[in-house]
């Protein structure tokens, strides 16, 4: 069982921190290469924020968009794409952004403080929430008029819930925290069945109105299976995000 799922979001606030993704993911086979950007288009943005600017990538689409996505990453020192410095490149956030871009949805990926091209240190959960709101404002300015879907992975699920604003939908990937901390919003929850979790909490979440809960066979905490991002995860997220939006 991933230890982070036992940590409640209320405890995070008391401690002033975000839970570490403490179980290192199993590396993909050596022959597996990170996802290539290929023809996908992303543009570097610098987002103003209270504690200093945030570096981000906007995955643009050619047509006007009615929905756009901002991604809050987990607590390990991932960069915006899901890679660790000097380690295996998993690129799980990049793969998700490209899948959504292919479906006609613009996506903003941003570096948390001290990762990628964003300087500074994370000041616990409050600081991460402030940065998430700044990233959202950056996305809103770049894609005016679009409704926002927040995607939070692992500890980023707590950030996404705390940064949530009325009218937004939520996607929580391998979430940690307590079901009571989820806002009342249309929400998709995706958990890898190889990740473990808390069955009682998952059952409560699955039964709650407005929540769609999906378990991905063989997928780990990164929603990866067999050395690649699970296609079931990508299909579920794309389907949920594009409801009511052009493809």
35-63 pLDDT tens trace: 334 456 889 889 898 888 888 999 999 88
CA distance 135 to 72: 9
Name 141's Cβ contacts closer than 8 Å, sequence gap at least 6: none
For tokens 């998709």, what's the residue? 188
Nearest C-alpha neighbor of 158 from the set 3, 4, 54? 4
- Compute and round to an integer the Cα radius of gyration of the chain: 16
Within 10 angstroms of residue 77's Cβ, the number of other Cβ atoms is: 18
pLDDT band at 244 (very low <50, low <70, confident <90, very high): low
The pLDDT, as a whole number, for residue 245 is: 53
pLDDT at residue 50, as a whole number: 85
**Residue 139 — very low, low, confident or very high, per pLDDT cuts 50/70/90?**
very high
Task: Please measure the distance between the N-terminal and C-terminal CA atoms of the chain and give it in whole angstroms.
Answer: 37
Q: Do residues 220 and 26 touch, judged by C-beta distance below 8 A?
A: yes
Look up the pTM and report it. 0.81
Check residue 4 and report its DSSP letter.
Answer: G
pLDDT at residue 25 is higher than 60: no
Question: Encoding tokens for residue 163?
Answer: 């940064």
Query: Which one is predicted more confidently, 3 or 94?
Result: 94
The tens digit of pLDDT for each residue in 169-185 reads: 999 999 987 888 899 99
Q: Which residue has the higher pLDDT, 124 or 223?
A: 223
């Amino acid at each position: 069982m991933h230890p982070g799922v036992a940590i409640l979001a209320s405890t995070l606030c008391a401690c002033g921190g975000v839970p570490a993704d403490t179980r290192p993911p199993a590396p993909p086979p050596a022959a597996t290469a990170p996802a290539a950007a290929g023809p996908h288009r992303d543009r570097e943005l610098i987002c103003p924020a209270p504690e200093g600017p945030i570096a981000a990538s906007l995955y643009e689409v050619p047509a006007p968009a009615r929905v756009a996505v901002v991604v809050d990453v987990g607590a390990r020192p991932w960069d915006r794409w899901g890679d660790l410095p000097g380690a295996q490149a998993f690129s799980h956030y990049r793969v998700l952004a490209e899948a959504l871009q292919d479906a006609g949805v613009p996506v903003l990926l941003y570096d948390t403080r001290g990762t990628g091209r964003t300087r500074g240190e994370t000041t616990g959960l409050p600081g991460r929430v402030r940065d998430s709101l700044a990233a959202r404002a950056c996305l809103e300015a770049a894609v005016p008029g679009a409704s926002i879907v927040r995607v939070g992975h692992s500890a980023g699920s707590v950030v996404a819930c705390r940064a949530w604003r009325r009218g937004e939908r939520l996607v929580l990937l391998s979430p940690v925290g307590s079901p009571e901390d989820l806002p009342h919003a249309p929400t998709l929850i995706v958990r890898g069945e190889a990740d473990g979790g808390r069955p009682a909490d998952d059952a409560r979440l699955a039964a709650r109105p407005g929540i769609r809960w999906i378990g991905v066979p063989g997928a780990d905490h990164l929603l990866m299976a067999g050395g690649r991002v699970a296609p079931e995860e990508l299909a579920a997220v794309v389907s949920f995000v594009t409801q009511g939006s052009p493809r």
